[in-house]
Amino acid sequence: MSVLVNSPINLKEAILNIDALPTMPLIAQKIMALDLESSEGEIAMLKLIEKDPQISARIIGLSNTAFFGSTKPVLTLQEAAMLLGFERVKTVTLGIAFMTSLADDEPSELDIQGLWLHSFRTALAMRTLSRAMPSDARPYLDEIFFAGLLHDIGYMVLNHIDRERSNELHRRFAAEPNRISTEIEAELLEMSHAELGAELVRNWTLPEKLIAVLRYHHDPSNPHATVAQPLVNMVNLVEKILPGYGIHEQVETEIRDEEWLALGINPEQADEIVQQITQQAAEVSLAK
């Protein structure tokens, strides 16, 4: 076992320091101000995205995954928008912009590309899961994608605030793959990645529902998670289906019938849904 890191940084104090956190990315601010109910707003959004090659490449890469069933390669942002829909392009763009604002070129034990893959796979898996839910119980598609893309952004917050302890945390995850990751976090940190991510999006004044998803996706029975259900249950269930897909995060993998029933899904469908999600996850790759 690695030696615990005695960092001079107190995460609870740092997360409350406005200067310790990045501001909301400018592209996100501009896109959130657009009216996507109009063709002018849609055109303006695509023009903004085209100015960012990284975001454009990731959206085009996403649209070329087997999940969306394109019959020919998608080569342009406009083609991607027609396939994915403008609302989904908006959600994915915001998710990428938010996560990119915390990234840098410094060496790190955090596998950022792996986190990207984990986040996209989670979002897509939640979409698949929602299709098995009663229609009147399904969250909006943009909520599903936003929750999936950002649920683990707290790992990037930690990497941004305290690189030393972030590195130690991810070394421990890799060295102790049979231990639940939240247990290791509790030993090393005074705030979990779930708490750190929630405080970041609270600082950016994003919806309370999203804050609760980030805060309670490892604690779905918490009474405070109610405001964000069924999204919290969906993230928690998907992470059990896809443990460690893209990152060294270990969760409890046992899924009880009650967890399926809480989403309005017959447990007899569980094996088929799990197979769909795992096959889909294996097919997903992203442009770097």
Flag whether 2 is in a domain: no
Of the pLDDT bands very low, low, confident and very high (cuts 50, 70, 90), residue 3 is very low
Torsion of CA 272, 235, 134, 68, to 10 degrees: -70
Query: How many residues would you count in the chain?
Result: 288
Identify the CATH number of the domain in which residue 115 sits: 1.10.3210.10
pTM here is 0.86
Any idea which of 7-11, 20-24, 128-132, 208-212 has the lowest mean pLDDT?
A: 7-11
User: DSSP 3-state assignment of 223?
Assistant: helix
249-259 pLDDT, tens digit per residue, is 888 889 999 99
Domain count, the chain: 1
What is the residue range of 85's domain?
11-283
The pLDDT value given to residue 246: 67
- Among 69-73, 221-225, 250-254, the minimum mean pLDDT is found in 69-73
> Does 181 map to a domain?
yes
d(CA 237, CA 245): 14
Summarize the confidence of residues 228-255 as an average pLDDT: 89
Cβ-contact 155, 115 below 8 angstroms: yes
Q: 234 lies in a domain?
A: yes
pLDDT classification of 1: cutoffs 50, 70, 90: very low
For 80-105, b/e burial (b = at least 16 CB within 10 A) is bbebbebebbbbbbbbbbbbbbbbee
Q: How confident is the model at residue 236 (pLDDT cuts 50, 70, 90)?
A: very high
| Phi-psi category of residue 134: left, alpha or beta, with phi > 0 → left and psi -120 to 50 → alpha | beta
134 three-class SS: coil
What's the pLDDT band for 18 if we cut at 50, 70, 90?
A: low
pLDDT of 26 > 50? The answer is yes
Indicate the residue type of 262.
A
pLDDT band at 69 (very low <50, low <70, confident <90, very high): low
3 state DSSP class of 284: coil
Q: Residue 89: phi, psi to the nearest 5? A: -60, -40
pLDDT of residue 272: 96
Distance CA 126, CA 170 (A): 25
| 273 belongs to a structural domain | yes
Residue 3 domain-assigned (yes or no): no
Contact 241, 219 (CB under 8 A): no
Question: What is the tens place of the pLDDT at every residue in 107-153?
Answer: 889 988 888 889 988 998 999 999 999 999 999 988 998 999 999 99
Which of 30, 28, 39, 133 has the alpha carbon at shortest distance from 81? 39
Structural domain includes residue 1: no
Q: Does the residue 70 lie in any domain?
A: yes
Q: Is 100 part of any domain?
A: yes
